[in-house]
Structure 1
Amino acid sequence: MSDPVIEAAQRALDTDWLEAEDIAEAAAREALAPLKDIHRPVPVAQGPNCCDHCGDVWPCETGYHIYTDKELADE
């Protein structure tokens, strides 16, 4: 059985990060990547974008937790 946390940490350690905080940030980004694949904005012809996964107005509640403010502003 796979462990997503261990897999994300391994991917982060495979980079050339030198500082512990850089490794921690990279690991967190790797762990959130699968959620970003499913919680993403989808254009709607009439009205605001919605979340591809939950159908809520974008950004959805999960989107606020997994995207940076800059990423949300660029959407």
Structure 2
Amino acid sequence: MAEDLYKKAKAICETNHIKEQRGPRRKQKKMEEYVVESSCGTSSSLSNAELLKRNLYFPCLERMINELDQRFTGVS
């Protein structure tokens, strides 16, 4: 579903001659002599479709599910 949304948005951009933009890559931080338990900002390059899913589609679904959960909790 998110992939379809991305394809439609990409088609609209191509029709209107709008270029796809990519965000700047972060430089890797040097963490010598430290124990790092989380990401330092470097990761593999994600496609725009994957970014759309992670930053828009999944958060929207989560908000909708939480809202439904709040509205119907305790209702028989």
Same fold per TM (> 0.5)?
no
Larger radius of gyration: 2
Q: Considering fraction of residues, name the structure with more strand.
A: 1
TM-score of the superposition, structure 2-length normalised? 0.29
With CA pairs under 8 Å and 6+ residues apart, which has the higher RCO, 1 or 2? 2
TM-score of the superposition, structure 1-length normalised? 0.29
